[in-house]
Amino acid sequence: MFLFVHRCAPKILSENHSVAAWNVIESFAMKYGVQKKQVMRNLCRRFLSCALFLFLLCLPRAANAYSIVWITDTQLYSESYPETFYAIADWIVENKAAYDIRFVFHTGDLVNASRSQAQWAVAGEAMHRLDGKLPYLTASGNHDVGKRYAYDNYHTYVDGAREHPLTGGSFGPGMSRYALFSADGRDYIFVSVGFGQTGPSQEEIDWINQTLAHFENRIAVLITHSYQHTRSRLTAQGNAIHNKIVVPNPNVWLVLSGHCRNYSQRQDAIDDTGDGVPDRIVYGVMTNYQDAPKGGGGYIRLLPFNADRVYFSTYSPVLHDFDYYEKPGADYFSIPYPGVMEPTAIDSSAKLP
């Protein structure tokens, strides 16, 4: 743990001598014309973020807790920074036991050019490093299928989890598919919804709805490439998914997406019984790190599933950094499990129980 803190903390906090550290602060303040008080305030914020991240990573060690890793928008890694994509996959495998990682999501745009065999070779190599070690589910993105909606390369090189025993079936090669997952007394169905500019075809929507209805007693998590914008409003595809899949299926609880820049969160109270009283809250989370240096900086989401809440955290195993967005509620927040009606359940202050 000490070694991890030493690697994560800003360099100035890892100095052995307080005098040397203060000299660095003073020289930084003079160079950039800022007050030492401001520098110290920023350092304290970074230190507290590091402590929070370490606490979140320790959650899976507790009883009734495990983790899911969420990757998204890796197209620039496949195009220009393959070592970053490989490093992410290797970190997940190497830390499977340490953080009790049990599943991996990828919400699309594995490549930047859908017809580039070289990029698909990188994406395929990275994702298949999980084969035989962890189940994973991917959703196709617009860069994966191109303007002609060609799923052949996606299906050939990735088409996540198609050979894993948890996989239940798919609508078609490279299109929507589902996987069954159970942990700590909760049964889930994970559904990846394929990319379509204005949403899936009606036939694909019908297949998804039939699948969700068949597994109505399982908690449903949808992963898709495009669902919500940076300011939380729904995309064109998101509108179709929300109105035609999320609303009609009472077991849908969470929708994860990428595509748009930055991040956003939304929560929709849905009245399933038609009595004017909301019966559930569906949470939407959009994450995209591709504006970070070198195509995304290696950032991922780590989701510890604790006994009563699910926590979202940010981490880069490449940069050993834990605070990409540096905005309240963006890097760290939590949501309750289904059945808890909390209008403000997304914990923007990241306060832990």
| pLDDT tens track for 156-169 | 898 644 445 566 78
DSSP code of residue 245: I
Same domain, 6 and 143: no
Residues in the chain: 353
Domain of residue 204 covers 66-336
Region of 84 (left: φ > 0; alpha: ψ -120 to 50; beta: rest) is: alpha
Let me know if residue 341 belongs to a domain: no
Q: What number of other Cβ atoms are within 10 A of residue 271's Cβ?
A: 12
Structure tokens, 61: 């060690």
Rounded Cα distance between 99 and 92, Å, is 9
Structure tokens given for 68 = 């899911």
pTM metric for this prediction: 0.81
Domain count, the chain: 2
Same domain, 82 and 58: no
Residue 338: which residues within 8 A CB-CB, separation 6 or more? 219, 251, 253, 280
Same domain flag for 35 and 97: no
Tell me the C-alpha distance between 317 and 324, whole Å: 12
Residue 207 sits in the same domain as residue 254: yes
CATH number at residue 146: 3.60.21.10
Per-residue b/e over 81-95, b at no fewer than 16 CB within 10 Å?
Answer: bbebbebbbebbeeb
d(Cα 223, Cα 255) in Å, to the nearest integer?
A: 6
Residue ending a domain, choose from 64, 84, 111: 64
Q: Is 49 domain-assigned?
A: yes
Judgement on whether residues 187 and 253 belong to the same structural domain of the protein: yes
Q: What is the pLDDT along the chain (353 residues), one digit of tens a residue?
A: 333 333 333 322 333 333 344 344 444 344 444 454 454 545 555 555 555 555 555 544 444 589 999 999 999 999 999 999 999 999 999 999 999 999 999 999 999 999 999 999 999 999 999 999 999 999 999 999 998 888 889 988 986 444 455 667 888 776 899 999 999 999 999 999 999 889 999 999 999 999 999 999 999 999 999 999 999 999 999 999 999 999 999 999 999 999 998 899 999 999 999 999 999 999 999 999 999 999 999 999 999 999 889 999 999 999 999 889 888 788 889 999 998 776 444 454 333 33
pLDDT digits (tens, 9 = 90+) for 248-262: 999 999 999 999 988
pLDDT for 47 equals 54
